[in-house]
Structure formats: structure tokens, C-alpha cells
Chains A and B, each alone.
Chain A
């Protein structure tokens, strides 16, 4: 009985991971998610899938690292990944900030050029 329940759970986990992966791939295919940002999500889904298939995986790795309570490894990993990704987003944001500034300035300068040409001819 115990086995049946955990198998059911495993199947749910695998299916969820697959749906998530499909969702990510669809976003990339539609051009709504750029490849460079999709990388981290592909890795995430791959990990999800790995631990869904490899049932003892979490316990094995937790033991290896000397973590007493295996689920805390999930939180550690997840929080670490989130922080790294947030920093990455801030970097992207800063880059775009500079690009927008440069574009706005070029536009202002070009508008002035156009005005000058319209006046003369």
C-alpha cells in the first residue's frame, strides 16, 4: 500500500516536471523567452525531472553533504538559485537601463538634426 501511494506521487511529480518543461519550450519556440534567460529554467526542469525519477536521490545527496534533514536541502538549493537569478535579473536590468538612456539621448540629438534639415530645406 505504501508503495502504491509513493508511486502515485512519483508519477504526479514526473508529469508536473514534464508539463513545466513543455511550457518553457513552448515559450522559447514562440519567441517569448530569450534563449539566454531560458537556460536557467531548462536546468531547473531537468533537476525536477531527475529527482522525480531518482526517488532516493535527495536522501543520497543530503547524506553525502552531511545534511540531517533531507528536505532542507531543497530549500537551501531553491533559495540559493532564486538569489542568484535575482542578481542576474538586476544585471540585465542595469544593462537595459544604460541602453535605454543611450537610445533616448540619440533620439533627442536626431530629432534636433531633423528639425534643422526641415528648416533649411
Chain B
């Protein structure tokens, strides 16, 4: 291969001051190991209230600063817009809390390089290894699996996984529209109806290193409701207005 493949790793950060540096060093060591790719980590600071911004600046890490808090979807979309405009070949979304080990990223990249998929989703459920999450979350995930299956006929075991890689086709679609809150399960309908090839890849995930998940307790109900509504309306909008490019 003559030309190196340019890879952007998009890391949305909201108050992740304790995780950023460790994650950055992990990514750097991966980047140094491989000569095939050129890896650029892009941190998206979603208007954090802790020292995230200062930390990114002091260590001279490539980052985008949002002046208002947009939520995970808006933050991730900013990164994808950047990657798309700068002409990166592949963009990877990776959580800032250390749940997604960078050393697994080659598994996500492979199917895209070989043109087997436009988007790959890292799944922790294909093999029963690593951190497997809570019972409630697993119930939610099997519900989303069912919902996506009846709507677009795509079976994704871990639709809430935020560890994903997309090619330029995927970046273009995400730049155009991406849900603000809890975008992961909802965007599967988007990708499927835009005829992207989705492939699920088994990856090992860790428990979060610090901080708390954004989805817990009473929020679970809201989460399920919001995602169901979002998914169904996105489906209707794309299915019946698809030709008019409404989004």
C-alpha cells in the first residue's frame, strides 16, 4: 500500500479530565505500532465544566471546543464533520471514559479497508468476553435489536455501542443528520435506510475507569421512550420523504 490510510478517532468528552490522558497515551502507543495507518485523535470538548479544556490545551492535544453543551450526539457529529471536511478515510467514534480499548480498533477498521462494510459497530455481546454490562441494559439492548429488526431488517446485537468506525460515505450521512441525545440505536435505522453496509465486530470492552454512565435509574425509562420515538419517526421520515432529502 503506497498511501497511508488516514484515520480520525473522535472522542467526545464531557467532564472526562481523569480519563483523557490515559486514553491519549493508549492511542499513541497503538499509532506508533502500526505503520499502515496514520491515526489522529480528535477530542471534542462538549463544554465541560471541569478542567477538560485546560488539560487538552496544556498537553497540546488536537481538540474541538464547543461553546455550548450539545450532548453526545452533537459533540460526535462535530468530530465527524471535521473528519469529513478534512478528507479522512475512516472516522472512529470512541468514548472518552475508557470503555473502548484503542487496541481493539484494528478490528473495526479491517472490514472497512477491505470494502466489506461502510460502518462497523464494536459489539461486546458477540463473544461472551470482557465487560458485559448490567441486566437492565441488556434487556434494553435486546429490545432495540428487535425494534431495528422489524423496521429495517438489520440485526444488531449491541446497538447501544458507541464504538464505531465509518468510511467517508458514513461521515457524509452523519454530517447531515445525527440525533442529539442517545444517537447510537437510532442511527442504525438511518444507516440501514441510506443503504450503508453495517457490520458488527466483536470487541472486548472494559468497565468505565471513572465517572458515571449517563444512563441510569429513572433515566432508563426516558431513554427507552426517546429512542423508540426517535427511531420510529426517523424511519417514517426517511421511508416516506426519502426522495425529498428532508433531513
Contact = CB atoms under 8 A, between A and B. Distances in A.
Interface of A: 100-101, 104-105, 107-109, 111-112
A105 B77 contact: yes
B78 interface: yes
Contact of B70 (A101, A109, A111, A112): A101
A58 to B, nearest CB: 41
Interface in B64-96: 64-68, 70, 74, 77-78, 81-82, 85
Identify which of A100, A101, A105, A112 gathers the most chain B CB atoms within 10 Å of its CB: A105
Interface residues of B, number: 15
A91 to B, nearest CB: 14
A8 to B, nearest CB: 54
A86 B12 CA distance: 34
B85 A108 contact: no
11 contacts: A104-B66, A104-B70, A105-B66, A105-B70, A108-B65, A108-B66, A109-B81, A111-B65, A112-B63, A112-B64, A112-B82
Q: Is the interface of A mostly helix, strand, loop or mixed?
A: helix
Contacts of A104: 66-68, 70, 74, 78
A108 to B, nearest CB: 4
A109 B44 CA distance: 10
Contacts of A109: 64, 78, 81-82, 85
Interface of B: 44, 63-68, 70, 74, 77-78, 81-82, 85, 180
Given A101-B180, A104-B68, A108-B64, 15 more contacts: A100-B68, A104-B70, A104-B78, A105-B70, A105-B78, A105-B81, A107-B67, A108-B44, A108-B65, A108-B66, A109-B64, A109-B78, A109-B81, A109-B82, A112-B63
Contacts of A100: 68
A92 B55 CA distance: 38
Contacts of A112: 63-64, 82
Nearest to A112: B64
